[in-house]
A and B are shown apart, each in its own frame.
Chain A
Amino acid sequence: EIVLTQSPGTLSLSPGERATLSCRASQSVSSNYLAWYQQKPGQAPRLLIYAASSRATGIPDRFSGSGSGTDFTLTISRLEPEDFVVYYCQQYGNSPRTFGQGTKVEIK
């Protein structure tokens, strides 16, 4: 099983700042099959990024993904008030599918 470790656990930033979230895999993710999700309180997760760097339909371009192998990054270029929530990475290159433990982005 691939273990995904997200860091930091909590990221304290101000609106307008840049956020950089990390997801590290315990072994190489096949074909860079890594996705990022955003979850707001009381809602189901929303897909932001798939295949490490492809934005899902309707996702603002301030969200971008990068990385390969075992190291992946989600970048939010300029934080909007609605972006201060929790983010998860997920790998789907191997079975079982696994998620990271999440990064909470909070207002500083």
Chain B
Amino acid sequence: EVQLVESAGGLVQPGGSLRLSCAASGFTFTTFWMTWVRQAPGKGLEWVANVKEDGSQKNYVDSVKGRFTISRDNAKNSLYLQMNSLRAEDTALYYCVRGYTYMLYWGQGTLVTVS
């Protein structure tokens, strides 16, 4: 069974930093791109970033470029999102998602509040 479990988010002040983690299991982690998607409270879905199987290619939505860094540790079957210079508009539920195209498997999400 595919499982994606995000670490606890938290409350951070504007300008602060936070690192999210996602532990993957139930599939061969090294053969899938991984993605972060976020959802502001009461709002729609926003694709944030993705990373290639070997970590050699990374893509970001414009609003987080230069502030967020996606990475992975294939030895630990883990995905990360380092978030710096956080803004109020980054407040959202952050989902860890398997894949590069359509998104079949999602984590339960972790809430990040910037205030």
B103 touches A90 (CB 8 A): yes
Q: Is B115 an interface residue (CB 8 A)?
A: no
In the complex the two chains form, what is the Cα distance from A47 to B103 in whole Å? 7
Query: B2 contacts which chain A residues (CB < 8 A)?
Result: none
Query: A100 contacts which chain B residues (CB < 8 A)?
Result: 44
From residue 88 to 115 of chain B, which have CB atoms closer than 8 A to chain A?
A: 95, 100-104, 106-109
Query: A35 contacts which chain B residues (CB < 8 A)?
Result: 101-103
Question: How far is the CB of B38 from the nearest CB of chain A, in Å?
Answer: 11
B61 touches A96 (CB 8 A): yes
Query: A50 contacts which chain B residues (CB < 8 A)?
Result: 101-102
Chain A residues at the B interface, C-beta cutoff of 8 Å:
1, 33, 35, 37, 39, 44-45, 47, 50-51, 56, 88, 90, 92, 95-102
Q: Which of A37, A92, A96: most chain B CB closer than 10 A? A: A96
Chain B residues at the A interface, C-beta cutoff of 8 Å:
35, 44-47, 50, 59-62, 95, 100-104, 106-109
B59 touches A95 (CB 8 A): yes
A-B complex: 7 closest residue pairs judged by Cβ atoms: A44-B106, A35-B102, A50-B102, A97-B47, A92-B101, A99-B45, A102-B44
A90 touches B95 (CB 8 A): no
Question: How far is the CB of A105 from the nearest CB of chain B, in Å?
Answer: 15
Given the known interface contacts A95-B59, A101-B44, the answer about A47 and B104 at a Cβ–Cβ threshold of 8 Å is yes
Known contacts A97-B47, A102-B45; 17 additional CB pairs below 8 A are A1-B62, A33-B101, A33-B102, A35-B103, A39-B45, A44-B95, A44-B106, A44-B107, A44-B108, A45-B45, A47-B103, A50-B102, A88-B44, A90-B103, A96-B59, A96-B62, A99-B47
